[in-house]
Structure 1
């Protein structure tokens, strides 16, 4: 097999931007990269961060049969089963009203999803995490913990912005916190992605009713003054 020669222009660009870094190696088995001056994985003074590199190194060390990372279309089936089973356990607990236990299972499922190796498709992890965190947001909401419900909803939006469910969860949490204007903005953004969503249309009407009542109360108060 003939090895293609590198493009000389691109090679020149790579060499011009190359900045050598002194590194040391740490345990186990000297496979962890560290800054040479302080033996740190992440060092502000040396301006290096080997966290992701070392994570890949550890994963390869734990899987000696892998000569190189597999293609991103290949997924860890055992991890997928663990994620789905744990999420479904959370769903069962949620449906039975055991919201605190459901949150624990959703949190465990999210931790499993975050452990996907870096060579697997990032889209898979985003899909899994967005669904899990959306469900956990709903469980927090049912427990009256609107702040954590809002935090999870924001995470869902960051992971999967075009999905209306994240915006719906955010608007519900804000509504319960009596942040009516912010709730309206959240639900209107969700409706831009899913304009036919019945649950979002209904929630928008509820929010607008609260806004009208709030304005009427303010006018009444100002008039009495």
Structure 2
């Protein structure tokens, strides 16, 4: 095979910023570590081989791939695993079995983050944020408001412009009695999706609680009616 001639200007730029790094390979030759301490990430040596090693493991596990496929190629098998496991969690959640739904959502999240680095990052973000959002709702139902808040914050970090993450955060904050922060969270969510009717009702509820100084019980915070006496906040994705 004839190798293309590298562009001289690009090669000069690469050479200018290139710094050789001593390393050791694992016994199977699949992963790299610093030569001094045999660590994948070593602050003393100033090296971090985590991403490189992850790519190496993925390629080793998929010997049929001669090179990473284009970014628009999505692993359908992994998508099916995430969706099926999330749906199992949703079924349990809707059956008032939130505690049993939590590990299902955790497993679905674990599958979602296993996507190879050459797949579209946005796809993973949307998939993962939906699963973690549902787990936040499940944690809320079992009155674990700290975990519900942590998951909501994760959703916001992954997908800031999605109002549901801010709404999940507001619910968790209501459960913790942090009413002013809950109202702020919903306002921020509505700034991204001002037409979201559920979030608008949540904002009204949070502001009523904030101004009245009353909060009867945590179950009331989930009763933000959608006009049909149903809990509009309980439905997972």
TM-score of the two chains, using structure 2 as the length reference: 0.85
Name whichever structure is richer in helix by fraction: 1
Write the deviation string for residues 42-101 of structure 1: whole angstroms up to 9, x where unpaired.
111111111111111111111111111111111111111111000000000000011111
2:38 partner SS: coil
Alignment of 1:63-212 (within 5 A): 63-212=62-211
More deviation, 200-209/162-171: 200-209
Q: Indicate the SS of the match to 1:34.
A: strand
- Higher radius of gyration, 1 or 2: 1
CA RMSD across the alignment: 1.6
What's the TM-score, normalizing by structure 1? 0.90
* Gap runs ≥5 in structure 1: 216-225
Any idea what the Cα deviations from partners look like across 1:147-180, whole Å, max 9, x if unmatched? 1111111111111111111011101111121111
1 CA distance for matches of 2:115 and 2:86?
Answer: 16
Structure 2 segments unaligned to the other structure (5+ residues): 215-237
- Corresponding residue of 2:4: 3
Higher relative contact order (CA 8 A, sep 6+): 2
In 2, the alpha carbon distance for the partners of 1:57 and 1:3 equals 25
CA distance in structure 2 between the aligned counterparts of 1:213 and 1:118, rounded to whole angstroms? 49
